[in-house]
């Protein structure tokens, strides 16, 4: 077996990629701007150059077992990206086949939260766990579900959209998916900022957050204010943690996981978020699951996590689509 895999994480701003060995050591990594080119073929050319430069520099050109890619709405079964919210490439896009044809290396793709779950299982906090749920609290809320040691893709490859679990059935906030009341509209970084605006408008108490133009408030501002003892900011975290805990208690009735693992910017809020989250989860938990389910933080270094998660999928890539290697430009 070839000793390395390549992990590629396609985000709305940056595409990060790296060479990873079987122990999960990131040998080298680099990145390109995802949106530098509007045309996908130009982007692919850029990506190819960037990855090949790394491979040549580390004497790894013929040592890549597979390429794993994490990308929004990427489908593991079909190798297609079905829909892109913030990237102008035409969809459905046969991402796995196009990258595989370009590199002459087998490619497997999945969405970013699933990649994070695979990374956590292979190299992080979920090592040895057969049943857990990964929740990514970033700009949106993503999820990757592992049952019996396997990533859950479902019938169509799109399972694990727990960010779009309805937490407010009535008068819920509009979500990017077009519905109202989704977990993501409340408990993502942008959801926390929306809560801040809502609280500041409804209430009259003083708050450090009132020094910031209301439309410019970010979840980081709320965190900073809470750390400085701001009452409204702390209540925003209580509110967010409470909703997450309610949702997690419902998730547990589904798959009874050993742990729910948090990843992403908001998860770094520490006990400001974790204490109300755990309290709410236990308060809402069905008796048979009480005091059993751990809520823990990712153990992957954030700088490496996206690449590591995607790369772990590279070990699963099968050479179905692999064509002859394209010449290096």
Cα–Cα distance, 128 to 296 (Å, whole number): 15
Give the binding range for a second copy (CB under 8 A) out of 211-219, 232-240, 281-289, 309-317.
281-289
* C-beta of 75 vs 311, nearer to a second copy: 75
Residue count, binding to a second copy (CB under 8 A): 45
Residue 282 touches a second copy, criterion: CB under 8 A? no
Please list every residue from 20 through 39 that binds a second copy, using CB under 8 A. none
Residue 5's H or E segment, with its range, is strand 4-10
- Binding mask 226-265 toward a second copy (x if CB under 8 A, else -) reads --------------------x--xxx-xxxxxx-------
* C-beta of 61 vs 85, nearer to a second copy: 85
Peptide bond into 207 cis (omega under 30): no
Please list every residue from 126 through 165 that binds a second copy, using CB under 8 A. 130-131, 145, 147-148, 150, 152-162, 164-165
* C-beta of 36 vs 292, nearer to a second copy: 292
Give the binding range for a second copy (CB under 8 A) out of 220-228, 261-269, 286-294, 296-304.
286-294
**From 235, 289, 316, 321, residue interacting with a second copy (rule: CB under 8 A):** 289
Residue 177 touches a second copy, criterion: CB under 8 A? yes
CA angle 188, 191, 197 (to 5 degrees): 150
Residue 320 touches a second copy, criterion: CB under 8 A? no
In the complex, the smallest distance separating the C-beta of residue 73 from a second copy, rounded to whole angstroms, is 8
Residue 319 is given by DSSP the state: T
Q: In terms of Cα–Cα distance, which of 70, 142, 60 is closest to 99?
A: 70
Length of the chain in residues, anyone? Answer: 329
DSSP 94-160: -HHHHHHHHHTS-EEEE-HHHHHHHHHHHHSTTTT-SSEEEEEESSSEEEEEEETTEE--TTTS---
**Three-state SS letters, 165-207:** CECCCCCCCECCCCCECECHHHHCHHHHHHHHHHHHHHCCCCC
Q: Which residues bind a second copy (CB under 8 A)?
A: 73, 82-83, 130-131, 145, 147-148, 150, 152-162, 164-167, 169, 177-179, 246, 249-251, 253-258, 284, 286-289, 292-293
């Amino acid at each position: 077996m070839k000793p390395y895999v390549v992990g590629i994480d396609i985000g709305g701003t940056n595409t990060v990629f790296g060479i990873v060995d079987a122990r999960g050591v990131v040998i080298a990594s680099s990145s390109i701007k995802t949106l530098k080119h509007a045309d996908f073929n130009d982007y692919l050319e850029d990506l190819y150059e960037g990855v090949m430069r790394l491979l040549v520099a580390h004497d790894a050109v013929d040592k890549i077992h597979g390429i794993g890619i994490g990308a929004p709405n990427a489908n593991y079964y079909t190798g297609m990206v079905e829909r892109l919210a913030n990237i102008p490439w035409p969809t459905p896009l046969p991402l796995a086949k196009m990258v595989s044809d370009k590199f002459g290396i087998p490619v497997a793709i999945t969405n970013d939260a699933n990649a994070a779950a695979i990374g956590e299982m292979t190299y992080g906090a979920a090592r040895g766990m057969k049943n857990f749920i990964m929740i990514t609290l970033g700009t949106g809320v993503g999820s990757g579900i592992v049952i019996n040691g396997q990533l859950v893709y479902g019938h169509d490859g799109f399972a694990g959209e727990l960010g779009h679990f309805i937490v407010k059935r009535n008068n819920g906030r509009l979500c990017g998916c077009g519905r109202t009341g989704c977990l993501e509209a409340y408990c993502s970084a942008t959801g926390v900022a929306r809560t801040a605006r809502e609280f500041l408008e409804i209430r009259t108490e003083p708050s450090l957050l009132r020094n910031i133009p209301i439309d410019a408030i970010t979840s980081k501002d709320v965190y900073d204010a809470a750390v400085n003892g701001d009452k409204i900011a702390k209540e925003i975290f209580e509110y967010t943690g409470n909703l997450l805990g309610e949702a997690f208690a419902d998730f547990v009735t589904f798959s009874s996981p050993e742990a729910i693992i948090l990843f992403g910017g908001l998860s770094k809020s520490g006990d400001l978020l974790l204490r109300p989250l755990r309290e709410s989860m236990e308060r809402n938990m069905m008796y048979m699951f009480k005091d059993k389910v751990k809520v823990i933080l990712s153990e992957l270094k954030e700088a490496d996590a996206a690449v590591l998660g995607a790369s772990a999928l590279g070990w699963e890539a099968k050479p179905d689509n692999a064509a002859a290697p394209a010449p290096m430009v």
